[in-house]
Structure 1
Amino acid sequence: MNQQVVIAGAGPVGLWLAAELRLAGITVTVLEPRPERDPNSKALTVHPRTVELLASRGLEQPFLEEGLHIPSGHFAVLDSRLDFGLLETDFPFTLALLQSRTEELFEIQARAAGADIRRGHRVTGLTETPDSVTVHIEGPDGPYDEEALYVAGCDGTRSTVRTSAGIPYPGEDFTVLGFLGDVVLDEPPPGVAFSRTGIDGIVMIVQLPGGLHRVVGGVPADVRTDWPGDLTLEELRANVRQVTGTDFGMHSPAWLSRYGNTSRQAERYVKGRVVLAGDAAHQHMPAGGVGLNVGVQDATNLGWKLAATIQGRAPAGLLDTYHDERHPVGADLLEHTSAQTALISAFTTDGQRLRSLFTKLVDEQPSLNRTLAERLSGLHVAYDAPTADAHPLTGRRAPNLTFTDGGDTVFALLRTGRHVLLDLFGPRDDRGTPLATAEDGPLIGPLVTRTGTLTREHTPWAYVTAALIRPDGHVAWATEEDDPEKLAAVTREALDRAGLTGADR
């Protein structure tokens, strides 16, 4: 068996998962049917939570340098913008960056980590046994097989891996279409982003590199259940004129496409030796540009759990928690993109009144603005705590906690892909030994420890004396215990539960 994991699909999700697995020392092969990277970029938007994950792996700088910083977002293209400045993050903005460039940066990361990426190799089926899975592949030189411990389907909405594994993908077919064109505009609207909505339709225009603009939107004729054929430049021009009164001097299309609001979700993200992530697990209307981001967040949750399972250091049932945690996130994704679709396609007088009402509510209610911004950005995601008496921070994402001594922040500590144990109790004199090196048993799992005092801006953490942060940046455990002996004991118990000690699991 040459590889521990085979990944189908070298899009952003598959490449990020490959890098995550290699960070943990897992051998990985990525199979991609396209011989070259797709130059057409379906996704443009990198949301704040994804930038945090990039920073947690030391990959944020090229994104920050090359991406266009946009300090606000939209819900259903309402006139009221969502203010990302309200968010508690080091990155209160979205980045506009072509998906092709995101894939390129992810591929560089994965290859540098040692992933075997094969282009022009298409997965055709699977054969699973209790101990392994054989992936059937059509390569440039003919068919061949690759045996692995697990296969990850990151191969899109038409996933061969999902179909071969017999995982149902229920949902609803499209009822609304949208149009997309990457074109040259001789007379573009001012600013980096433009939108116009009304009873005649909706149009959004965003600047792209290389002198192009992306034009997306929909018109009343797009509320339909039949496929009208490929989008033409003439149709795109007519649609934009219908909504805005001009076509902005549109010509020279680099890409023309349609998209729809088909909504589906895999019933299981984990089945035997098959796991799913990204579009293979959930399909939805691309409202708000969240798809790539949720897929990358899927892969970050999955990577460390799959690695620990393969390496025999996972607590019982750890891999199943990938489904338990991320399936509800996917369901929430379908719900809010479907709700946005209903508002976007409300091309009636009553529909426009509904949009006007929502616009006023977002303007008048800062708490609603913030809530929608948190949902769009991915910062709201919190996983269920394992017990009712768990600390309130358990399951929530850890922000980039900073320390009074000015040393490494939490995001910097997470770059190894290991659990991070925060020892926030204070001087060690009262305890004798650090929490992570107590003499009652060796540590066997990958762990980074940090002793220090947090700076004051981290209010929810004010009384926390110790915390364990997972490799995906979510809090596994936290305590406010201030008795030194009890603190050492409960910390050891938390490390035992996480599979980071020699205790029986």
Structure 2
Amino acid sequence: MNETRDVVVVGAGPVGLMLACELRLAGVDVLVLERLDAPDPTIKAGGINAPVAQALDRRGLIGELRTAAEATAAQMAALFTRAAPASGPKPAGGHFAGIMLRGDRIHHDDPVFAELGPAAQYRFVDQQAIEAMLARYAADLGVPVRRGVEVGSFADDGVGVTVEAGAHTIRAGWLVGCDGGRSTVRKLAGYEFPGLDPEITGRQARVEWTGAEQVPLGWHTTPTGIFAHGPVPGRLLTVELDGPPADRVNPVTAAELEDSFERVTGVKVQISKVLSATRFTDNTRQVPDYRRGRVLLAGDAAHVHSPFGGQGLNLGIGDAANLGWKLAAVIRGRSPEALLDTYSRERHPVGAWVLDWTRAQVALMRTDSRSRALRAVVTELLDTPDAATLVAKKLAGVLHRYDLGSDDPRVGTATPDFDLADGTRLAEHFTTGKAVVYDPADSPTLRALTAPWSEHLELVTTKPAQPHEDLAMFVRPDGIIAWTSATPHGLDTALTRWLGPA
């Protein structure tokens, strides 16, 4: 069976689905191939950061986010209520290396938390819910997802890629690997994958069990490792620092989980059913460039690291949001291929930061006396408002800024979200996937400047519902501010750079 597509995306996890939706929204003919017959039920990330929540909000998915977050909150509330006598105060700020941040230590009125919009409230949404949400969105957009199909080989001839996948031969303009840490696309394309070898064995599971009633909720340090309990019922996690697991292939058994939990906590539990379970390590690697010819990578295919802090899901969806509109612009002939160079240039530093962030956490989890002394110092520091607030901001993902060559500190950051006088929010004007120029002054000069790009952007001139800085902004389709000024100077240059010639 032979067919032709603009793009083949390999992998139907959250990253692949997000990328496919971004491409389809821009009118690109995209096909998703997935080797698994059904979505993977294994427990993974338990939440998302503010940029991911905002990205989903900008595509009109805030209703589904709210529903999923409320369901998680109900589960967590029930667990905390049952365990209250043993759990003590409930931290609310996340953790660093299993050191819980106290919510009452965080400066929630810090300006960086302002104008994140309502989406930032809905961050306790797990990976399975995000994947299901994006699968429904993809179906609504008409994205074909072909399951049970594994890529066997492909050839990039400089003008396109021929993909062999089972009985399918597909000719595509571009191939994007979103197929996880053991990416077939990455290996076949010959990407280098430098980094550090693993030194830990982690196990995470959702189970039905008894004997854990007095085990405290949250993350905890013991002489033999780190463990976490909750925040949803039946969720456990153990970290042992005695090297990587000998077995990465066979299913995780109840006995293996019981033994690991007892070694780390000293508590013997009985697991009657394993709902989902996985092993993980702190293997940290990153490709030097996310593009080789007409083959690109996103998500874990481009970078792997330990899951501490749930950064993998966030990082991957950020990759997809950055790449989708750029690849679409090149395919549709609006922008030169050089636009794709900005994908790796912008996303690689963010990935490198995440790798270092997770490596630092593993260093603080070690059980030797020097590491434990350092952990005690860091624990004391994180109990101070300034340190707790800084780490909370990093966990929330609100400090990232792309270097777009501007001295303006707002350029390269995510657009704020705020209410407008007509009853809408600024985020609601991104649902079509176009760029947005926001001009509350409704300048005739600016309106004339943007007219040649009107097919590719939405001009919003409604004033804010509340007093707000009266500056015009040009915001890329991924929600990143590319230009802002009190005058129209430089806007045409920014529009040409990011949306192509008029």
TM over 0.5: yes
* SS of equivalent residue, structure 2 residue 32: strand
- TM-score, normalization by structure 1: 0.87
CA contact (8 A) 2:422 2:462 kept: no
- 2: distance between equivalents of 1:132 and 1:434? 42
Alpha-carbon displacement from aligned partner over 1:452-484 (angstroms, at most 9, x marks no partner): 3345575xxx252x1100111110111123xxx
Greater RCO between the two (CA within 8 Å, min separation 6)? 2
Q: Which residue, out of 303, 309, 329, partners 1:308?
A: 329
Q: Which residue of 1 aligns with 2:486?
A: 480
CA distance in 2, matches of 1:259, 1:376: 20
- Aligned pairs, number: 472
2:318 is the alignment partner of 1:297 = yes
Distance change in 2, residues 1:80/1:496 (3 Å): closer
Q: CA separation in 1, counterparts of 2:346 and 2:403?
A: 8
CA deviation vs aligned residue, 1:161-204 (integer Å, no higher than 9, x gap): 11222111111221111122221133544899433212222110
Residue 406 (structure 1) shift: 4.0
The amino acid that maps onto 1:411 is A
What is the CA–CA distance in structure 1 between the aligned matches of 2:396 and 2:449, rounded to whole Å?
Answer: 39
Match of 1:214 among 229, 235, 249: 235
For residue 182 of structure 2, give the secondary structure of its aligned residue in structure 1.
coil
Equivalent residue for 1:318, pick from 303, 324, 339: 339
CA contact (8 A) 2:476 2:498 kept: no
Matched, 1:419 2:435: yes
Q: TM-score, normalising length from structure 2?
A: 0.87
**Unaligned residue ranges in structure 1 (runs of 5+):** 482-486
CA distance 1:341–1:301, shift in 2 (3 Å): same
- Partners of 1:316 and 1:272 lie apart in 2 by 10
Does 1:224 find its partner at 2:243? yes
Distance 1:291 1:267, change over 3 A: same
Q: SS of the residue aligned with 2:361?
A: helix
**Match for 1:400: what amino acid?**
D
Aligned pair partner of 1:437 in 448, 454, 463:
448
**Which residue does the alignment assign to 2:411?**
394
Question: Where does 1:19-58 land on structure 2 (aligned, <5 Å)?
Answer: 19-58=21-60
Contact 2:179 2:300 in 1 (8 A): yes
Q: Secondary structure at the match of 2:490?
A: helix
CA distance in 2, matches of 1:84, 1:20: 35
User: 1 CA distance for matches of 2:159 and 2:360?
Assistant: 43
CA contact (8 A) 1:204 1:215 kept: yes
Which one-letter code corresponds to 1:480 in the other structure? A
Deviates more, 1:90-99 or 1:27-36: 90-99
Q: Answer with 349-358 or 325-334: which moved more.
A: 349-358
Q: Which runs of 5+ in 2 are unaligned?
A: 77-91
Question: 1:363: which partner in 2?
Answer: 383
Secondary structure of the structure 2 residue equivalent to 1:318: helix
Verify the 8 A CA contact 1:196 1:243 in the aligned structure 2. Answer: no
- Pair 420,16 (structure 1): closer, same or farther in 2 beyond 3 Å: same
Distance in 2, Cα, partners of 1:260 & 1:333: 15
Counterpart of 1:239, as a letter, is S
Q: Amino acid of the residue matched to residue 380 of structure 2?
A: K
CA distance in 2, matches of 1:73, 1:379: 15
Measured after TM superposition, the shift of residue 409 of structure 1 is 1.8
Alignment CA distance shift 1:237-1:41 (3 Å): closer
Structure 1 residue 315: Cα displacement: 5.2
Following superposition, the deviation at residue 92 of structure 1 comes to 4.7
Kindly report the root-mean-square deviation, in angstroms, between the aligned alpha carbons of the 2 structures: 2.5
Note the C-alpha offset of 1:402: 3.0
Q: Secondary structure at the match of 1:149?
A: strand
Distance 1:490 1:207, change over 3 A: closer
Alpha-carbon contact 1:189-1:248 (below 8 Å) kept: no
Residues 46-195 of structure 1 aligned to structure 2 (within 5 Å): 46-67=48-69, 68-69=72-73, 71-81=92-102, 83=106, 85=108, 87-88=113-114, 89-90=116-117, 91-92=119-120, 95-138=123-166, 143-189=167-213, 193-195=217-219
* Structure 1 Cα separation of the partners of residues 247 and 296 of structure 2: 35
**What SS is found at the alignment partner of 1:3?**
strand
Distance 1:306 1:4 in 2: 10
| Distance in 2, Cα, partners of 1:444 & 1:64 | 32
Task: Give the counterpart of 1:372 among 367, 377, 391.
Answer: 391
Q: Of residues 422, 425, 445 in structure 2, which corresponds to 1:409?
A: 425
Once residues 199 and 244 of structure 1 are traced to their aligned partners in structure 2, the CA distance between those partners, rounded to angstroms, is 9
Tell me the secondary structure at the aligned position of residue 317 of structure 1.
Answer: helix
Is the deviation greater in 409-418 or in 249-258? 249-258
Distance in 1 between the 2:458 and 2:268 partners? 56
